[in-house]
A and B are shown apart, each in its own frame.
Chain A
Amino acid sequence: MGDVFVLAEHRRGEMREITFEMLTKAQEIASAIGGETVAVLIGSSVDTFAERLAAYCDKVLYIDDPLFADYNSDKYQIVLGKLIQDYKPELLMVGHTTQGVDMAPALAVELNLPFVTDVVDIIIDNGKLKPVRQYYSGKVNALFNFKGEPPYLITVREASFEAADGSKQGQIQKIDFPLKEDLDYRRFVEYVEAEVGDVDITQSEILVAVGRGLKEEKNLSIAEELAKAINADLCGSRAATDAGWLPHDRQVGTSGKTVKPKLYIALGISGAFQHLAGIKGAKTIVAINKDPEAPIFNEADYGIVDDLFKVVPKLTEKIKELKG
């Protein structure tokens, strides 16, 4: 009892960062409640992952079998269900990712576990774990108590915790698992890469938007450079598409597209009501505009009041530097 389990997440030969973020937090929790940190690794011939994980935990429970070559929520659910019953951890942390959300709610129902999703913080109050999650797109935080008995299950939002460097030397333990053959009701078929071709800005994760402040078409390269550095798509205000700098299907606003990127960087856009209506689904908005009174600053999370021609090239340069 008292152990904190973390489900290691990996895909196509790569560990996902969320794993280390969770393990870092798990160590803090485990030491506070007097337990061990345990990484659960499910895969096929992923010994190197097991070794990397060992640096972040006391123990790696490693299931190694070709049955787990590709992620399958139902298989994971079966394995984790058995592990929970055998090991009775205090807490199981799963990423609030496309893998985690496809599996954790079903596991919670199956084992009747106290369950909190999309956790952004965990407060340890007198030895009790209190997860924090958000409502209304982050406008309100909610502090929860687990009422039932452990094991507790949570899904953890990416980038909520910072991953430290791993300095432990955990033990790697290969374990048996309850699944002996493939499932007939859910089968992994293949991965499909996003189609290249026409950009649909309503689906873009990162957008660099340009407005009248860009002044001329030849200045578009400044925005393009930035977009390239952060893997963003370009879009614009009505002024930008009107001027022909961008095609009409890149226009954001009430007469254009409604976008919902994780990051929206508005360059030289003042933020007319009709434009702002199109970006209200954006998670983080950055505005660079020389007019301090521009309405965009009321909607933005970060603002730079300055000449975009001075700031943006530097920004691109710094981002490239930091990305190495």
Chain B
Amino acid sequence: MKIFVCIKRVPDTSEAEVKIDATGKDVDSSKFSFDINDADNYAVEEAILIKEAKGGKVKIVSLGDQESDLMIRMALAKGGDSAIRVEDPRINVKDPLKVAKVLAAAIKQEEFDLVLTGCMASDDGQMAVGVALAEELGVPHAAMVKKVEVEEGKVRAYRELEGGLSEVVEITLPAVLTIQTGINEPRYAPIRGVRAAQKKELKVLTLDDLKLDEKEVNEESSLVELEKLFVPEVVSRAEIIEGEPEEKAEILANKLLKGGIL
């Protein structure tokens, strides 16, 4: 099996204050910590588990700057064999369809049986790259996969649906699966292994290397454009519900049930 895994370096903004910068179209990321996207980390583990069970090679692919190398090395240390990082300022990395096009170009350079991506990036929450990538590659796909069974020439993918239900689909290989968190328990990459992974191949490619025309993937080429970012009206501290105990309970019950939370 030749498996590609697409990973992305994302900021952890879960407890950080997110401030919009002067351009109005981006945020100030100077106080964030960064790490491999959570779902992508599960995708890496799943690829390595498949490799361990069935043999083959795992290739890591990422679109990003040099800062992504640390995360790529960690994936290599866990059992990845080689990696490609695409870096080119001309790519509109905020458009998931452009990202998919670039990833497809990188993957298409070689033969592949399976491509795994995380099902969602925690920063933009698009849930679009993996499925768009399958279309670009012209292969079948299954999104939000919580369990994979690899068989001869095909996979059984258990897609996690709403409310604890799973849908089992059988798709032929080569294919793209977008991996849901919780599918496995990602292993630890001992730092000794991360250092040793320096010896594994990590190719840095540009659009020219991928033979992609910039007009296909630059900001101009995107069919949607960001007009502005704005901060939604949220209170950083809890909205404290006032009243007598019974009133409070009633207000909360209403918020939970009618506010779409439950």
State the A residues within 8 Å of B (CB): 11, 71-74, 96-98, 101-106, 108-110, 112-118, 130, 133-148, 158-160, 184-194, 200, 202-203, 205-206, 230, 260, 262-263, 276, 280-281, 284-287, 292, 297-307, 310-312, 314-315, 317-319, 321-323
Contact = CB atoms under 8 A, between A and B. Distances in A.
B238 interface: yes
Interface in B81-128: 96-97, 100, 119, 122-128
Contact of A116 (B134, B224, B258): B224
Contacts of A319: 253, 256-257, 262
Contacts of A135: 27, 123-125, 229
A147 B95 CA distance: 13
A187 B169 contact: yes
B140 interface: yes
Contact of B165 (A193, A301, A317): A193
Contacts of B132: 105-106, 108-109
Contacts of A299: 15, 238
Given A230-B256, A302-B238, A140 B229 contact: yes
Contacts, number: 257
Interface of B: 11, 13-15, 18, 20, 27, 96-97, 100, 119, 122-132, 134-136, 140-144, 156, 158-172, 181-182, 222-232, 234, 236-241, 245-246, 248-250, 252-262
Contacts of A101: 119, 127-128, 131, 143-144
Contacts of B232: 134, 138-141
28 contacts: A73-B143, A101-B119, A101-B131, A105-B135, A118-B125, A135-B27, A140-B231, A146-B223, A186-B172, A187-B170, A187-B171, A189-B156, A190-B167, A193-B165, A194-B166, A263-B262, A276-B15, A280-B15, A286-B252, A300-B238, A301-B238, A302-B255, A304-B241, A304-B249, A310-B245, A312-B249, A315-B253, A318-B252
Given A73-B141, A130-B227, A188-B169, 12 more contacts: A105-B127, A105-B131, A105-B135, A139-B231, A141-B231, A159-B260, A186-B169, A186-B171, A297-B238, A302-B252, A303-B238, A304-B248
A136 B96 contact: no
B14 A137 contact: yes
A105 B100 contact: yes
Determine the main DSSP class of A at the interface with B.
Answer: mixed
A56 B4 CA distance: 44
Contact of B262 (A188, A230, A314, A317): A230
B241 A302 contact: yes
Contacts of A302: 238-239, 241, 252, 255
A146 B142 CA distance: 28
Given A117-B128, A230-B256, A202 B223 contact: no
Contacts of A284: 261
Determine the main DSSP class of B at the interface with A.
Answer: mixed
A3 to B, nearest CB: 20
Contact of B237 (A117, A134, A148, A297): A297
Contact of B240 (A205, A285, A305): A305
B131 A102 contact: yes
B136 A109 contact: yes
Nearest to B156: A189
B122 A137 contact: yes
7 closest Cβ pairs, A-B complex? A159-B260, A194-B164, A303-B238, A314-B249, A148-B223, A318-B253, A114-B223
Nearest to A260: B181
A298 B237 CA distance: 5
Contacts of B161: 11, 98, 191
A269 B164 CA distance: 27
B167 A191 contact: yes
Contacts of A116: 224
B239 A303 contact: yes
Contacts of A298: 236-238
Contacts of B226: 142-145
A102 B14 contact: no
A285 B142 CA distance: 31
A286 B256 contact: yes
A34 B187 CA distance: 55
Contacts of B162: 97-98
Contacts of A286: 252, 256
Contacts of B168: 188-192
A139 B124 CA distance: 11
A189 B97 contact: no
A200 B182 CA distance: 10
A191 B166 contact: yes
Given A101-B143, A135-B124, A142-B226, A314 B261 contact: no
A234 to B, nearest CB: 16
A97 B119 CA distance: 12
A108 B127 CA distance: 13
Contacts of B261: 262-263, 284
B141 A106 contact: yes
Contacts of A141: 229-232
